[in-house]
Amino acid sequence: MRKIVECIPNFSEGRRTDVIDQIVAGIKSVPDAILLDRESDPNHNRSVITFVASPESAVDAALAGARKAAELIDLNRHTGEHPRMGATDVIPFVPISGVTMEECVALARECGQRLWTELGIPVYLYEKAAVRPERENLAAIRKGQFEGIREGIATSEDRRPDFGDARVHPTAGITAVGARPPLIAYNINLGTSDIEVANKIARAVRHQNGGLRYVKALGFELKDRGIVQVSMNMVNCEGTPLFRVFEMVKREAERYGVSVIGSEIVGLVPQMALNAVADFYLQLEGFSAAQILEHRLQSAMEAER
């Protein structure tokens, strides 16, 4: 099967289109890196670039973007709502097909090493690529942002980078590089306007309060539709699949006499997450992705190459 890694670097620039264009051009200049999406938020002053590449090219493409960002972004002049610590703020590598999480961890570490040696930017490793358990959680690493890290990095042992000297790059700051499963933004809509019902269900299903391990959830009002929703991030859809959280939300809603009126996937979803839903509800026996015509075609085309 074709090997595909997804990479979603976040850059601390969401206003100057020419800067973002040059960063994107840097990524696209690497043969075999394919841009899937780019989104810039002027309030957050941040851009999220999604590309896929072979494992051989993924690090080159991430570095090409980071090189441009280091040239063009000065964190000393950066303002915006989103907490940030680097011109290239975070670089997660995500296994999509034919690639293991371990390979993505190796890519993250290679990328971290090269950010330091080639660009002089120190690096924290996070999530699955973390070498210190307390760095698995990105929010903990990011605390204090650029300015706070610049202050504390030389003296505080728990601020010491995983790659590079104990100082931030003067303009490009410091970058968090990690590996993680694909993330799915998934919302379930309820037939009520009572936000308390959504809040209670969110608490029931999310990991934080005793629910499913890979679910983050919040209650949310859709005022224009007069309904509420359980808004979720599914951070590991193999560990906690969509159908399991759907069934749990439906059952919890019943307890309040409320129906699930629909659900929505926001943004991209890996095909295997949907295939797992079909497999569950049809109670399939011995089904393999090799039976999917498009999958067979892909394999046959690669065999011919």
**Which residues are near a second copy by CB under 8 A?**
4, 6, 34-37, 52, 96-97, 182, 189, 242-243, 246, 260-265, 267-271, 274-275, 277-278, 281-287, 291-297, 300-301, 304
Nearer to a second copy, 239 or 262 (CB): 262
Looking up tokens 């659900």, which residue turns up? Answer: 263
Nearer to a second copy, 95 or 211 (CB): 95
Closest CA to 302 of 98, 165, 38: 98
One-letter amino acid of 182: P
Nearer to a second copy, 9 or 86 (CB): 9
Nearer to a second copy, 15 or 28 (CB): 28
Nearer to a second copy, 8 or 125 (CB): 8
Residue 98, classified by CB atoms within 10 Å of its CB into exposed (0-12), middle (13-18) or buried (19+), is: middle
Residue 264 CB, nearest approach to a second copy (Å): 5
Residue 287 CB, nearest approach to a second copy (Å): 6
One-letter amino acid of 34: I
Measured CA to CA, the distance from residue 172 to residue 44 in angstroms comes to: 17
CA atoms within 13 A on the CB side of 221: 7
Measured CA to CA, the distance from residue 38 to residue 47 in angstroms comes to: 7
Measured CA to CA, the distance from residue 299 to residue 294 in angstroms comes to: 9
Residue 274 CB, nearest approach to a second copy (Å): 4
Active-site choice (44, 82, 207, 295): 82
Residue 35 CB, nearest approach to a second copy (Å): 7
Nearer to a second copy, 164 or 219 (CB): 219
- Calculate the CA 169 to chain-centre distance: 24
Contacts by 207-215, CB closer than 8 A, 24 or more apart: 211/248, 212/240, 212/244, 212/245, 212/248, 213/239, 213/240, 214/181, 214/239, 214/240, 215/240, 215/245
For 169, phi then psi, to 5°, come to -65, 135
Residue 54 CB, nearest approach to a second copy (Å): 12
Residue 2 CB, nearest approach to a second copy (Å): 10
Residues 6+ away with beta carbon under 8 Å from 201? 190, 217, 219, 230, 249, 252, 253
The reply to whether 207 belongs to the active site is no
Q: Coil, strand, or helix at residue 261?
A: strand
Active-site annotation, residues: 82
